[in-house]
A and B are shown apart, each in its own frame.
Chain A
Amino acid sequence: MDSQTVKPMLVSLSNAYWKSGDGISDQFPVGLRVLVVDDDTTCLKILDSMLKKCGYEVTQKSDAESALDLLRKNKNGYDIVISDVHMPDMDGFKLLEHIGHEMDLPVIMMSADDSKDVVLKGVNHGACDYLIKPISIEALMNIWQHVVRKRKQELKEKDFEGSGISEDGEQQQKSPENFDYSSSANEANYKNLKKRKDEEDEEERDDTSTLKKPRVVWSTDLHQQFVNAVHQLGIEKAVPKKILELMNVPGLTRENVASHLQKFRLYLKRASQHQSGHNNAFMGPQEASFGPISSINGLNLHALTTTGQIPAQSLAIFQAAALGRPTTTSVPIVDQRNIFSFGTPKLTSGDDQQQPNNNIEQMNLFHRIPSSMEPKQLATLNPFAQSSGGMNMQVDSPAQMGQPQRMTQVFHDINGGSHVSCLASSVGQPNLLQVIPSGVHGPSYSSVSQPSTPPGDSFTLMSNSGLSTLTSKGMLQEEVNSEMKGSRGFVSNYVVCGGLGNSPNTIQLVNSSLADNALRIKNERLADMDFQNNPFPGQFSEEDLISALLKQPEDFGLVENEFNFDGYHPNNLPL
């Protein structure tokens, strides 16, 4: 083990490195200075030994008071605290709070008690992790991550505090990461931590101090509230203070709102930039040419359309894929288009470029809608679950959208007036819609504002928020969250909200199907498509759209069972 001479060096090394916040020494996390607090001598001894085996520097305290005392005298003497929950002189949670307020060190709680409410309490009081006894050495090996994370967080807060661009996205990312790394592998812990972040627990207000601000998680609901408030005030007049008042969320600060608003505005701006460039796409659906399409969900439609490269066949295929029916069928393009928009598998590379097609226009429409980021347009599509500027899905018919209007209306109808459509935003990401391949993990998004974004991965029909909204099932939430993690910018993804009546499972199927399909279609010649030369009828009825959306076979005369995603077979694609 470390000799006496080595230790001080490590300590100072670690101090230097860790203080800097990003420098990780070669020996990191060796020398991490841990303070262990537990009234049980047996556990204390075991922990001491385990921590030392991990290469950490350990200080033991058997009661909370003396631990706090030690920390106060030695503010920078420790990197992380591990404390038991049940202690005779002071509740572990109280200690946790004190440390959080006074020293802002990461604190890990531990207990033999694994009941969810206790774990949740730990989370609510600001614990960065919760370990269940008996603690294994593996659980302790990774505690250094909490130190690093906290440092990074602090740095970012300092940097961005003024500009108000808080790292909401990061925060979201942190959540899943945290659990990936944490070897505590405590499911209850995970769920509780996640729950806490999502719920904007009131107790966060208690934690808010000048020293440390709890990170705000812009959950679907919260974002929706935000969007509502903004719309109520009018986007021009929406100021953080008023928005905050309207939202009336305890624990939310003006700064949180300000930074979120900034992102939202940015999002809108980019959306409108795209919008202006794509106006033609929206209009005159009957035209064979179509305007540039913003990339959607990995589909670089924008690029493709501008170059007139999106092959009708592709579109058809996608649509077919979405529909689960062979593209060679004589299914009217209309249908396919509708479907296409929803579950467009990525139009992959420009390899597939083929003649532009009216279908694409339709596609554009769909895509555009979300990507345009115009609140009105989007509003019709779906309430944006999160971040992304809350495209409030109100049914406003965008003046310029003839087709979209119809679509949106369809959506609206489908939703029965609710905002269900499938715009789901990733948690914390300024995405309008996120179609995430459930089966495919990857950068499943394309950002409207980044036309150069390569056709991402296949779509998945899914939007966490959307689905959640629709089905009130957070089923895909986690999945989406993890997917969202990787997304950047604005994603104009569609989520096929099969939510209206469809079970989430269906959607999932769709997702994976589409994902698979998309991959398959990726580089295949679409020349076989029949509708390749079909004009853009633009005549699909709302029912068709609805059917397409919902893939409810009954209503859709054109679409048969293939719309049933369950029955979707990639093989059907005539590729």
Chain B
Amino acid sequence: MEIVGQLQKQYVDFINSLFREGYLDDQYVQLQKLQDDSNPEFVVEVVSIFFEDSEKLLNDLASSIQQQVVDFKKVDGYVHQFKGSSSSVGAQRVKNACVAFRNFCEEKNLDGCSRFLNLVKQEFYLVKNKLETLLRLEQQILQAGGTVPLIE
């Protein structure tokens, strides 16, 4: 099946580039391993939850920073949470941005926090985009009758 082969190659190239560029890390592979016959849509489900929760989280973050009097502890709490969830799905760059973000929270550096909020948002949307593409490719492969190659 030429199409399947092509799609698979596309998939492999793409996911490798994501690893290479640090968008995804090994945790994503762990998620893929959890997917099996009893749980065929696992990755899609988890990633969807991640996207949903993160949007909400980012909103909360934004509003917490925009307060008259910023409660840095609260901000830090959100960032910490985001760090946790992003690392759990393997969104490495998002996680790294969160780590740096927390430093500014600790320092109560509002300017730094604002900047990093933007950065974190940016990274999030980037990885969201990439993951959606990746998952779409997977779907296409499956629909074409092939299997999704598992990268180690």
Which A positions have Cβ atoms within 8 angstroms of B? 1, 39-43, 45-46, 49-50, 53, 84, 86, 111-113, 133-137
Complex Cα spacing A196 to B43, Å: 39
B34 contacts A1, C-beta separation under 8 Å: no
Complex Cα spacing A381 to B80, Å: 53
Complex Cα spacing A249 to B27, Å: 45
Residue of B46, B77, B83, B87 near A45 (CB, 8 A) is B46
B88 contacts A134, C-beta separation under 8 Å: yes
Tally A-B pairs: CB < 8 A: 57
* 8 residue pairs, one from A and one from B, having the closest CB atoms: A112-B84, A134-B87, A42-B85, A134-B27, A42-B50, A49-B34, A134-B88, A112-B83
28 contacts across the A-B interface (CB closer than 8 A): A39-B81, A40-B85, A40-B88, A42-B46, A42-B49, A42-B50, A42-B88, A42-B89, A43-B84, A43-B85, A46-B46, A46-B89, A49-B34, A49-B46, A50-B34, A53-B34, A86-B80, A111-B84, A112-B83, A112-B84, A112-B87, A133-B84, A134-B27, A134-B30, A134-B90, A135-B88, A137-B33, A137-B34
B80 contacts A42, C-beta separation under 8 Å: no
Q: Contacts A46-B88, A112-B83, A133-B84 hold; do A86 and B49 have CB atoms under 8 A apart? A: no
A49 contacts B42, C-beta separation under 8 Å: yes
**A125 to B: closest C-beta gap in Å:** 19
Sort chain B's interface into a size bin: 20 to 34
Chain B's closest residue to A113 (CB) is B80
**B51 to A: closest C-beta gap in Å:** 9
Q: Does B53 contact A (CB under 8 A)?
A: yes
**A353 to B: closest C-beta gap in Å:** 59
- For the A-B complex with A42-B50, A134-B88 known, give 12 more contacts whose Cβ atoms are closer than 8 Å: A40-B84, A40-B88, A41-B49, A42-B49, A45-B49, A53-B34, A111-B84, A112-B83, A134-B87, A136-B27, A136-B30, A137-B33
Complex Cα spacing A42 to B83, Å: 12
A45 contacts B45, C-beta separation under 8 Å: yes
**Docked complex: B67-88 residues within 8 A CB-CB of A:** 77, 80-81, 83-85, 87-88
Q: Does B143 contact A (CB under 8 A)?
A: no
B34 contacts A43, C-beta separation under 8 Å: no
Chain B's closest residue to A112 (CB) is B84
Complex Cα spacing A338 to B44, Å: 72
Residues of A within 8 A of B80 (CB): 86, 112-113
